[in-house]
């Protein structure tokens, strides 16, 4: 769709973010978000509350929205670069944003037989996933976009044109993240962690757990395989107690993960990850985060 004629239209897009991501967007004393508001000309509001997930609402003319998304994606790209410098991750995970989208508009975004979403993927180079289920107590679904900041911004252009071409039908019940009751945080703590397992990375699984409801749903994405060589000493960290960690990685990423048996005299084990490009990158990220 051609957006140039409709630039004076005000649109609102909602993003679902984790506390850490929100902190990154707000910045010290709110300086980052203030700068983003000024540079984009869009209104950027962050929901209050004690829930681990927050809604970030971006409102403005379409050009302002694109600028805001571009700035947010670039900030997350910087965060990934910083995180990689302090870890042994070799492959760079893509920037991932989760939009909260009225269910009644998801059909238009997917298109007949998946034609529209395929066109968006092919023209922008971004991965786009639409969750199969509504978010709890709402009529909205999560739409996840991942890729380079440029690809994400292009993708948002397409999403905005879909929103303008097919307005939502009926009333939308917005998704509101639930607060976590005190004491529930302990669930994410590992039962035990071997010395060489980096336990501060355990929260990565918590952050990525929310990915579990959209990964693996995209049957149209091509399946491929990726092989990793993992030192024997680390295999225990990846498998976990009675396979708990590997199962969690499989569940969260939606990828199939096969660990080869140890070969005599070799200090490395072959790990094969099979799935869609998005699920492979999530699985790799989780394995490297161990």
CATH of the domain at 131: 3.30.310.210
Structural domain contains residue 170: no
Query: Do residues 119 and 14 both lie within one domain?
Result: yes
Q: Which residues form the domain of 225?
A: 185-289
Q: Any residues with CB less than 8 A from the CB of 56 and at least 6 apart, and which?
A: 14, 15, 16, 17, 22, 25, 44, 45, 46, 47
Q: Averaged over 21-42, what is the pLDDT? A: 96
pLDDT given at position 9? 84
This prediction has a pTM of 0.63
Entry field: residues in the chain: 290
Query: Do 154 and 189 belong to one domain?
Result: no
* Residue-level pLDDT at 114: 92
Domain boundary among 165, 193, 224: 165
Per-residue confidence (pLDDT) for residue 104, from 0 to 100: 92
Span of 54-63, 196-205, 231-240 with lowest mean pLDDT? 196-205
Res 290: pLDDT: 62
Output the pLDDT for position 207.
47
25-34, 231-240, 270-279, range with greatest mean pLDDT = 25-34
Q: For residue range 122-150, list pLDDT tens digits in order.
A: 999 999 999 888 898 999 999 999 999 99
Q: How far is CA 227 from the centre of its chain?
A: 23
Looking at residue 197, its pLDDT comes to 53
> Which segment of 22-26, 30-34, 81-85, 186-190 scores lowest on mean pLDDT?
186-190
One domain, residues 110 and 28: yes
Domain count, the chain: 2
Residues of the chain with pLDDT > 90, as a percent, come to: 45
Residue 265 resides in a domain:
yes
pLDDT at residue 154 greater than cutoff 60: yes
Residue 20 resides in a domain: yes
Q: Minimum mean pLDDT among 73-77, 148-152, 282-286: which range?
A: 282-286
The DSSP-derived string for 56-123 is: EEEEEEHHHHHHHHHHHHHHHHHHHHHHHHTS---SPPPEEEEEEEEHHHHHHHH-GGGHHHHHHHHH
Three-state helix/strand/coil letters over 175-232: CCCCCCCCCHHHHHCCCCCCCCCCHHHHHHHHHHHHHHHCCCCCCCCCCEEEEEEEEH
Q: Are residues 30 and 128 in the same domain?
A: yes
Mean pLDDT value across the chain: 82
Find the CATH number of the domain harbouring 278.
3.30.1370.10
């Amino acid at each position: 769709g051609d957006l140039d004629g409709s630039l004076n239209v005000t649109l609102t897009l909602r993003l679902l973010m984790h506390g850490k991501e929100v902190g990154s967007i707000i910045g010290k004393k709110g300086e980052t978000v203030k700068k983003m508001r000024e540079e984009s000309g869009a209104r950027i509001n962050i929901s209050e509350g004690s829930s681990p997930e927050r809604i970030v609402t971006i409102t403005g003319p379409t050009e302002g929205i694109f600028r805001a998304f571009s700035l947010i994606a670039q900030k997350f790209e910087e965060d990934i670069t910083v995180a990689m410098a302090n870890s042994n991750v070799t492959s760079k995970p893509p920037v991932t944003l989760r939009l909260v989208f009225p269910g009644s508009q998801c059909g238009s975004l997917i298109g007949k037989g998946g034609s529209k979403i395929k066109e968006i993927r092919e023209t922008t180079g971004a991965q786009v996933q639409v969750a199969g289920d509504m978010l709890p107590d709402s009529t909205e679904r999560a739409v996840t976009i991942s890729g380079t900041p440029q690809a994400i911004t292009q993708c948002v252009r397409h999403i905005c044109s879909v929103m303008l071409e097919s307005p939502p039908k009926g009333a939308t019940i917005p998704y509101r993240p639930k607060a976590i009751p005190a004491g529930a945080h302990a669930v994410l703590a590992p039962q035990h962690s071997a010395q060489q397992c980096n336990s501060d990375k355990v929260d990565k699984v918590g952050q990525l757990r929310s990915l579990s409801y959209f990964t693996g749903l995209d049957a149209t994405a091509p399946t491929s395989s990726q092989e990793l060589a993992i030192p024997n000493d680390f295999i225990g960290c990846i498998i976990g107690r009675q396979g708990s960690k590997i199962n969690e990685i499989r569940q969260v990423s939606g990828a199939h993960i096969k660990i080869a048996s140890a070969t005599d005299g070799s200090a490395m084990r072959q790990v094969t990850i099979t799935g869609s490009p998005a699920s492979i990158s999530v699985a790799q990220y989780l394995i490297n985060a161990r």
